[in-house]
């Protein structure tokens, strides 16, 4: 097999040796062998010694994504072995949550399969091909997944902006097997949720917040049980999407949940999800609004909640947007602090990879200082464990949050 060779500049091999999966154009001295974009290439140091093997895309700033640091061929058997390893890595999660039917099976770089995301929703799989290298292999990957997991079908949701950076346009549709029903019911921690894998956000649902939703239920249970002054446990679920956190709040004994989101479709599905779990409609409100405006209004009216969840979309898509994102997070959290009852809780998140956990904590601290309130960190929060982070790839830890007790 004649393979393209990527030669790394002298002194730039350290991150590769340390198994960071990305090689930027600046680290590359030369490209030999005339590879075609998307091809598997061999990466060597400036003297020609083997460093790694991956796939190449000259259109992307990340020119090579590494698949292996061993001198082994990237064959169908290699992809099969790596998919099996990723799937096997979910055994711990499945063992602990035997009734759950939705799980992330492949978490891209963090499962050493850069650019590939695979989520399971009941009998269907959803695949995202985020890079040209995966785009080129996706049919074969879908065949392997059919063989390994025998799902009813595999639906592709590669309709994401990041593909533009790889010179790819968005695509979605059936990759293998049967087309999915318009809504699929999944079970998550004994709640039933309808997921729209064709038209919903990401692959249909925010699986990454699952453990934090379970924590919210616990917070509500404890609060309802131990707060003797409490008359009605009220929860504000900001950026509610299809109501996940709200369901868990009711499941934890909250009397009243206000779900706020800009998306009418998401709120309609949220309402359907509340009914599906047999929660009386008079325990919840579904408000279509811009959360920033809504919070300003609520603060002006002096509204108060026992527990607030604030789970906004990604504000910073790159390092250049961090400052503006920080202002957004500060404004949100300042208004959240104003609306928490003394002794209540704020669960606040950022899913911007470009905003580190440390920076996020500083932003929330800035908001607290302006609010004149006091708060304690009860827990540092992160993405669910079926979204593991490769230790060599800190970029994988994109979701960060704080559970705060506010006085």
What is the contact surface with ligand SAH in residues (CB under 6 A)? 206, 209, 239-242, 244-245, 261-263, 266, 290-292, 311, 313
Give the span between the Cα atoms of 211 and 385, in whole angstroms: 8
| Known active-site residue 310 | no
User: Quick one: 79 or 206, whose CB is closer to ligand SAH?
Assistant: 206
Minimum separation from the CB atom of position 318 to ligand SAH (A): 18
Contact status, residue 104 vs residue 94, Cβ threshold 8 Å? no
State how far the Cα of 45 lies from the Cα of 33, in Å rounded to an integer: 16
Spell out the residues 6+ positions from residue 201 whose beta carbon is closer than 8 angstroms to its own: 241, 266
Q: Which residue lies nearer to ligand SAH by CB, 22 or 239?
A: 239
Give me the least distance between CB of 332 and ligand SAH, in Å please: 9
**DSSP state, 245?**
H
Residues 69 and 23: beta-carbon distance below 8 Å? no
Q: Which helix (H) or strand (E) holds 392?
A: none
Tell me whether residue 155 or residue 206 sits nearer to ligand SAH (CB atom).
206
CB of 241 to ligand SAH, least distance (A): 4
CA 399 to chain centre: 7
Least Cβ distance, residue 28 to ligand SAH (angstroms): 37
List the catalytic residue out of 220, 310, 336, 351.
Answer: 351
Strand-pair partners of 102? 121
Q: How many CB atoms lie under 10 A from the CB of residue 81?
A: 11
Which parts of 54-178 fold into alpha helices (H)? Answer: 76-88, 91-96, 132-149
CA-CA-CA-CA torsion for 332, 333, 335, 338, nearest 10 degrees? 170
Considering beta carbons, is residue 5 or 272 the nearer one to ligand SAH?
Answer: 272
Are the CB atoms for 107 and 119 separated by under 8 Å? no
Nearer to ligand SAH, 256 or 292 (CB): 292
Question: Could you tell me the smallest distance in angstroms from the CB atom of residue 309 to ligand SAH?
Answer: 7
What distances in angstroms separate CA 98 from CA 101, 102, 403, one per listed residue? Answer: 8, 11, 27
Residues annotated as catalytic (active site), given as ranges: 351
């Amino acid at each position: 097999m004649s393979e393209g060779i990527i030669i790394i500049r002298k002194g730039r091999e350290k991150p590769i040796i340390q198994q960071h999966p990305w090689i930027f154009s600046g680290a590359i001295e030369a490209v030999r062998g005339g590879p075609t974009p998307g091809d598997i290439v061999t990466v060597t140091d400036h003297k020609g010694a083997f460093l790694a093997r991956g796939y190449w895309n000259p259109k992307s700033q990340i020119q090579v994504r590494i698949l292996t640091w061993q001198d082994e061929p990237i064959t169908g058997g290699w992809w099969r072995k790596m998919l099996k390893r990723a799937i096997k890595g979910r055994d711990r999660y499945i063992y602990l949550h035997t009734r759950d039917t939705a799980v992330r099976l492949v978490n891209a770089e963090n499962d050493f399969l850069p650019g590939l995301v695979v989520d399971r929703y009941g009998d269907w799989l959803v695949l995202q091909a985020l890079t040209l290298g995966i785009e080129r292999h996706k049919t074969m990957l879908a065949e392997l997944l059919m063989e390994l997991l025998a799902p009813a079908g595999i639906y592709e949701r590669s309709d994401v902006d990041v593909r533009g950076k790889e010179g790819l346009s968005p695509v979605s549709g059936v990759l293998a097997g049967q087309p999915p029903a318009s809504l699929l019911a999944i079970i998550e921690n004994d709640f039933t949720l309808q997921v729209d894998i064709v038209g919903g956000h990401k692959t249909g649902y925010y699986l990454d917040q699952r453990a934090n939703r379970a924590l919210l239920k616990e917070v509500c249970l404890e609060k309802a049980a131990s707060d003797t002054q409490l008359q009605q446990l009220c929860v504000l679920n900001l950026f509610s999407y299809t109501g996940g956190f709200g369901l868990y709040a009711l499941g934890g004994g909250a009397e009243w949940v206000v779900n706020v989101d800009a998306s009418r479709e998401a709120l309609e599905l949220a309402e359907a999800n509340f009914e599906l779990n047999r929660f009386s409609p008079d325990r919840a409100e579904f408000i279509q609004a811009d959360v920033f405006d809504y919070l300003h209004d609520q603060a002006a009216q002096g509204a108060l909640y026992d527990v607030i969840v604030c789970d906004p979309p990604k504000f910073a898509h790159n390092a250049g947007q961090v400052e503006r994102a920080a202002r957004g997070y500060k404004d949100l959290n300042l208004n959240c602090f104003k609306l928490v009852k003394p002794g209540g809780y704020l669960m606040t998140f950022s899913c911007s990879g470009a905003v580190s956990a440390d920076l996020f904590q500083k932003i929330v601290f800035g908001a607290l200082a302006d609010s004149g309130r006091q708060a304690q960190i009860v827990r540092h929060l992160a993405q669910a464990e079926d979204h593991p982070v490769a230790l060599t790839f800190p970029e994988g830890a994109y979701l960060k949050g704080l559970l705060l007790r506010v006085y």
